[in-house]
Amino acid sequence: MMDWSDRHCRYFFRQLTRHARLYTEMITTGALIHGDVPRHLRFHPDEEPVALQLGGSEPEDLAKCARLGEQWGYDEININCGCPSERVQRGAFGACLMAEPVLVADCVKAMQDAVSIPVTVKHRLGIDRMEDYDFARGFVETLARAGCTIFIVHARNAWLQGLSPKDNREVPPLRYADVHRLKREFPELTIVINGGLADWAGVEQELECVDGVMLGRVAYHDPYVLAQADARLYASTAPAPTRRAVVEAMVAYARAEVAQGSPVRTIARHMIGLYHGQPGARGWRRRLSDPAVLAQNRPEMLLEAMEAAEDARRVVESTAVETRAAA
Please give the positions annotated as active site: 83
* Residues paired with 154 in a beta bridge: 124, 194
| Cα separation, 89 vs 84, whole angstroms | 7
Are 111 and 66 in contact by the 8 Å Cβ rule? The answer is yes
A 10 A CB-CB count for 201 gives 9
Burial (CB count within 10 angstroms: exposed 0-12, middle 13-18, buried 19+), residue 162: exposed
| Distance between CA atoms of residues 207 and 234, nearest Å | 13
| Contact call for residues 115 and 70 (beta carbons, < 8 A) | yes
Q: Residues 274, 278, 280, 282: what is their CA dihedral angle, to the nearest 10 degrees?
A: 70
